[in-house]
A and B are shown apart, each in its own frame.
Chain A
Amino acid sequence: MRPPVDRDRLQALTEKLGRAIQIPTTVYLTGGATAVLEGWRASTVVVDVRFEPDSDSLLRRLPQLKEELQINIELASPPDFIPELPCWQERSPLVLESGTMQVRHFDPYSQALSKIERGFTQDLEDVTSMLRERPITPERLLELYEQIEPQLYRYPRDRSHRIPLKGRRCSRRVAADGFHRRGHVAAKGKPIYRRRPLSSPDRARPSRDHGGPEIPQNSGLRDRPADNTLRLATSAPSLHVAVAIAGAAVVVGIAVTAVSLRNAVVR
């Protein structure tokens, strides 16, 4: 059995990838790999990656890397499960650079929505961590979801014509300036990933991430028709992702609940 992958083994993988990559390539990490590097989990069973661009030589090298490092590697990323979110590349924070390779976390909003879509226990715990550590905010998550909602019909496997998100309140003070950096060590031994804001145009402008209007519990947004929309009612029994933002100002909790996708619109 290939043992679970912790941070050290992930680093070994990125070093090997760096040596295998011959053309400028971005390696996007998703799911468990992001969670391990961010400290939300100690280890993961599988490392999901996406290469941009991919290359035959790199893909041919992967099976060898799996065996050498005894790591389960899969080519998977959020766009395999949900429509691509606009500007996801710009929201994908840099982990490290080594030679011609960049390693980035895949856009945390894309990760969060794909996790909510699947809705397993670990998925929802990861979303909880994302909200707590603030690589994502509930307001922006909703905005981005609404932008891809019309394209969900393209994912007939999921038939996720609505992703039920449930929230109590959204804080006007929620701010999200990237992942909390914990000094991930770059290939050359230098921590390169501390307190650097995401270089996203979305974040460069004043946005609802940084002081947008609070969404009242019974606002029109929450009262949208049930068909083909987010479900924001608070009655369904499932996981509540609660975030309490403590500060000098008001502490406001938010809750996002993900339950399974129901009632395909096309019937």
Chain B
Amino acid sequence: MATRQNHKPGLPGEELIDEGLSDLSVGRESEAALLLQIAAPRLRALGIAIESRPNPGGQSPEHRLYALLSRRPDAHSRYNALLARIASYARAAEHATPG
């Protein structure tokens, strides 16, 4: 069960966190859910509890995200943009965290 302890409202990328947590809680492998798994260590440090999950078929979340995007002509660009978005969220949330 993925949960969040410290809410950081209004930060860019917030929607990915909400969507990802929701999808993870029902076992749905969406773009947002995979992104949360990719950035899990950093998000955990922010109080977002993301369980470690086995990688089906030994495929990393990065590879699964890329495969999920593969039907799009801009798969690589979107893949990069999503990673940048979650990193940006984490950075902003870290700076918003006191202490």
Report if A158-B45 is in contact (Cβ < 8 Å); known contacts: A46-B76, A122-B60: no
For window 63-99 of B, CB contacts with A under 8 Å fall at 63, 66-67, 69-71, 75-76, 79-80, 83, 87, 90-91, 94-95, 97, 99
Closest residue of A by beta carbon distance from B52: A121
A119, A158, A258 — most chain B CB neighbours (10 Å): A119
Closest residue of A by beta carbon distance from B94: A262
- Interface SS of chain B: helix
Stretch at the interface among A55-63, A86-94, A232-240: A232-240
Out of A122, A236, A237, A238, name the residue touching B62 (CB < 8 Å). A122
Contact-residue size bin, chain A (C-beta under 8 Å from the other chain): 20 to 34
**In the bound complex, what is the Cα–Cα distance between A42 and B44 (angstroms)?**
27
Contact partners of B46 in chain A: CB under 8 A: 260
Whether B44 contacts A45 by the Cβ 8 Å rule is no
Contact partners of A157 in chain B: CB under 8 A: 91
B2 interface contact, C-beta 8 A? no
For window 26-51 of B, CB contacts with A under 8 Å fall at 37-42, 44-46
A124, A262, A263, A264 — most chain B CB neighbours (10 Å): A262
Whether B38 contacts A238 by the Cβ 8 Å rule is no
- Interface SS of chain A: loop
Number of interface residues of B (CB under 8 A): 31
Closest residue of B by beta carbon distance from A125: B60
B20 interface contact, C-beta 8 A? no
**In the bound complex, what is the Cα–Cα distance between A260 and B93 (angstroms)?**
10
Out of A45, A159, A262, A264, name the residue touching B66 (CB < 8 Å). A45
**In the bound complex, what is the Cα–Cα distance between A46 and B87 (angstroms)?**
17
Contact partners of A260 in chain B: CB under 8 A: 41-42, 45-46, 90-91, 94
Out of A43, A122, A158, A239, name the residue touching B38 (CB < 8 Å). A122
Which B residues form the contact surface with A (CB < 8 A)?
37-42, 44-46, 58, 60-63, 66-67, 69-71, 75-76, 79-80, 83, 87, 90-91, 94-95, 97, 99
- CB<8 Å pairs between A and B, sample of 13: A1-B66, A1-B69, A45-B62, A119-B42, A120-B83, A121-B60, A122-B60, A122-B61, A236-B45, A238-B44, A258-B41, A260-B94, A263-B95
